[in-house]
Amino acid sequence: MIRRLVRLLLISFGLIAAGLTSLNAVAQQPDGSPEALLSRIQSAARALSFSGTFVHQQDSTLHTSRITQIIDAKQSVTKVQALEGHHQEIIKTPNETRIYLPERQVVKIDQTSYTRAAFPAVFVGAPEQVLKNYEVVQGGSMRVADIDAVEVFFKPRHESRWPVRAWIDKKTSLVVKCQKLDAQGAVLEQVAFTQFSLTTKTNGANLGGGANSTGAPTTGGLTSSFMGVKDWKVRDASMVALAPAPSLKYKPETLKGFEIVGVYQRAAKTDQAPFSIRRYVLSDGIATVSVFVQSRSVAGPLTERVRRNGALTMLSREIQEAWVTVMGDVPPETLRQFAQTIEWKSTP
């Protein structure tokens, strides 16, 4: 009896020691560093071919979309189709994004050379910039869309941004679910796969090219799904990158960790203004803040109070002869303080 109890005691301590040793080993894996993790996440979003359905929730608003991404030696294209409400289809290639609105027979073409974060490629900033502004905390495992995923929490190092929680596919490192949270941990906005499958071959039926005989616009040989629609109106939604980037006067302490990563502009239709719209893009590696400057010749202001929709907040200010509209994935108080410090002169 006594020997059996002693054996049980030794086994218990042995198991505890083994458990602690294995946990320590996981934490010290050479490729388990936050930098390596972020690199794997970004590579997966750029290199994987997949199809799936995802749900995007902003507050009480819910949208379901189908996504297909094909990456091979010849092309890299992402196709997103709205599954609810009005038909809408987006085809994104490295050089441009086309938004098809078949009910209006309109296609908007955006050739602005800016890498926009969009699910599942939600982390597009340089890893070192992300880690400068967020602490990466690995959590437990959870199944998302039948995928074994691991939770990764991005804890802000400053108060001026939302915490972000993501679930990463253990096999591919692709983001399969992402949430932006408020200070209490409540979900403000989230996007997640509800169905997902990796693909290895280009699906010619959905994305295959060839001449478009119906008049529908094409993108690099790839056709839209709306083959029966004719006489599309093409609208240019592009902005031109400005180099060197003109500066923007504001107090950096109101937006800690954010840096201007690009300035873009659309030319004015008349000679009365130097441009019709200019956009300053600031990023902390995950969150993005846009400062739009428009001539006061357009009606405004758009929204004088701070508004929030999901994780996105926005407001407009009248500064001299311009409307300055600020929108970003940051808390309302951060956006308000930042916007108040912006200085603008009509002839910078």
Partner 1 sequence: MSDHQSKENLSAWIDGELDHARASALPNQILQSAEMRQSWSEWHLVGDLMRSAGAARQSTLTKRIVEQIKSEPVHLPSRNPRPSPDVGGGSVVSGRTRLIYGSAIAAAIAFVAFVALAPQMQDSGLVEIIAGAMPESATLAQRPASAVLLEDPRLRELLEAHGSMSIRPVSAEVR
Residues 6+ apart with CB under 8 A from 244: none
Q: Judged by CB under 8 A, which of 35, 84, 128, 236 binds partner 1?
A: 84
Q: Judged by CB under 8 A, which of 72, 103, 148, 343 binds partner 1?
A: 103
Cα→Cα distances 135→29, 95, 125, 183, 187, Å: 18, 33, 15, 15, 19
Q: Of the listed pieces 89-97, 204-212, 240-248, 250-258, which binds partner 1 according to CB under 8 A?
A: 89-97
Task: Specify the DSSP element, H or E, that contains 1.
Answer: none
Yes or no: say if 235 and 107 are a contact pair by the CB < 8 Å rule.
yes
The C-alpha atoms of residue 125 and residue 252 are separated, in whole angstroms, by 19
Which is closer to partner 1, CB of 14 or CB of 252?
Answer: 14
Q: Judged by CB under 8 A, which of 48, 55, 71, 260 binds partner 1?
A: 55
Provide, rounded to whole angstroms, the least separation between the CB of residue 211 and partner 1.
Answer: 26
Provide, rounded to whole angstroms, the least separation between the CB of residue 302 and partner 1.
Answer: 5
Interface with partner 1, residue 65, by CB under 8 A: yes
Interface with partner 1, residue 183, by CB under 8 A: yes
Interface with partner 1, residue 292, by CB under 8 A: yes
Cα→Cα distances 303→276, 309, 327, 335, Å: 19, 13, 11, 13
Residues 316-345 touching partner 1, rule: CB under 8 A, are 325, 327-329, 331-334
The C-alpha atoms of residue 311 and residue 239 are separated, in whole angstroms, by 25
| Helix/strand/coil for 138 | strand
Dihedrals φ, ψ of 308, to 5°? -130, 135
Which is closer to partner 1, CB of 154 or CB of 250?
Answer: 154
Which is closer to partner 1, CB of 177 or CB of 223?
Answer: 177
Number of residues that bind partner 1 (CB under 8 A): 104
Which is closer to partner 1, CB of 40 or CB of 158?
Answer: 158
Task: Specify the DSSP element, H or E, that contains 306.
Answer: none
